[in-house]
Amino acid sequence: MRFDNHRVIITAAGRDFGRTLAIQLADLGAEVFLSARSLDAAERVRDEIRDRGPHQVHAFACDLSDPASIRDFATSVARHTDRVDILINNGSRYLEGPDLLSASDADVVDTIASGATGTVLTVKNFLPLLLNSDKPDVVTMVSACGAAGHQRSDAHDAFYAAKSAQAGFTEILSMRLRPQGVRVISLYPPDFDNADPLSKEWETTPRGAKDALTAQSLVDCILFAVAQPRDCFIKAFHFEQA
C-alpha cells in the first residue's frame, strides 16, 4: 500500500500519535503537511522525516485553540499546493482528572476550544483544498470518550465535552459532504500504546487479543479506510476496551 501522489494534512504532529502518523505516511510516499502548536516542534518532526530519505514534508505552527492560527495554517498550505487529499484531525488537548473542579477555567476553555472549535475550523478552512481533490478524506481521531455512554476514562469532563462535540460534528459532516465525494472517517480508540515508530519496539510490540490496542493498529485502520474504492464510505471505527 503506497500513498504516492497523496497530499496529507496532519494536525498536532509534533509528538505522540501525530508524529507517528507523519512518519508512517511520509514513508509510504505521501507529501505531508504537518502542524504543531509550536513551529520548533513541527520542524523537529519534519527534520526527522527528511533525515530518513527524500521525503516531501512541510512544517507549520498551528494553535488549534486560535482561529487566526488555523486560518494562517490553511493559507500557508495553499501557497504550496492547490489540493489536499487527506485531512487528519489529530489535535486535541488532553485534560486529566475526573473532578470537574480540578481544572482552571482557562484549562477548560483551551481543552474544548482545541478539540471542538479547532476541529470544526480546521475542516472549514481546508475544505476548499479538499474539494479540489478527486479522493478527499477527512479523518478525525475522536476517542472512546466521544462515544455515547462511555465512562471508563479518567479524563476531565471538559475533555469528554470536546470529544462529544467532535463526534457530533463528524456525524453530520459525513452526511452533508458525501454528495461532494468527501468521506468522513472517525476513530474512537480507548487508551492505546504508542511505540516510537523509529524504535525497534515498533516492530516488536505485542498485538495479540489480550494486549492493549496499539498505534500500529490505528495506523492500519486509517490506511485501510482511505485506500478503499470511492464507493466505500467507512464512517467510523469503534474498538473494544480491554
Question: How confident is the model at residue 242, as a pLDDT?
Answer: 66
Question: How confident is the model at residue 181, as a pLDDT?
Answer: 97
Question: How confident is the model at residue 108, as a pLDDT?
Answer: 97
232: cell is 466505500
Q: Which residues contact 72 (CB under 8 A, 6 or more apart)?
A: 62
| Residues 33-69: tens digit of each pLDDT | 999 999 999 999 999 999 998 789 999 999 999 999 9
Q: Where are the domains of the chain?
A: 7-109+136-238
Torsion 27-30-31-32 (CA) sign: negative
The 10 Å Cβ neighbour count of residue 216 is 19
Low-confidence ranges of the chain (pLDDT < 70): 242
Give whole-number Cα distances, 72 to 13, 67, 79, 91, in Å.
17, 9, 11, 16
**CATH architecture group of domain 7-109+136-238:** 3-Layer(aba) Sandwich (3.40)
Determine contact, residues 106/155, Cβ cutoff 8 Å.
no
CA 179 to chain centre: 23
* Closest residue by Cα to residue 35 from 107, 112, 88: 88
Question: How confident is the model at residue 56, as a pLDDT?
Answer: 95
Question: How confident is the model at residue 98, as a pLDDT?
Answer: 87
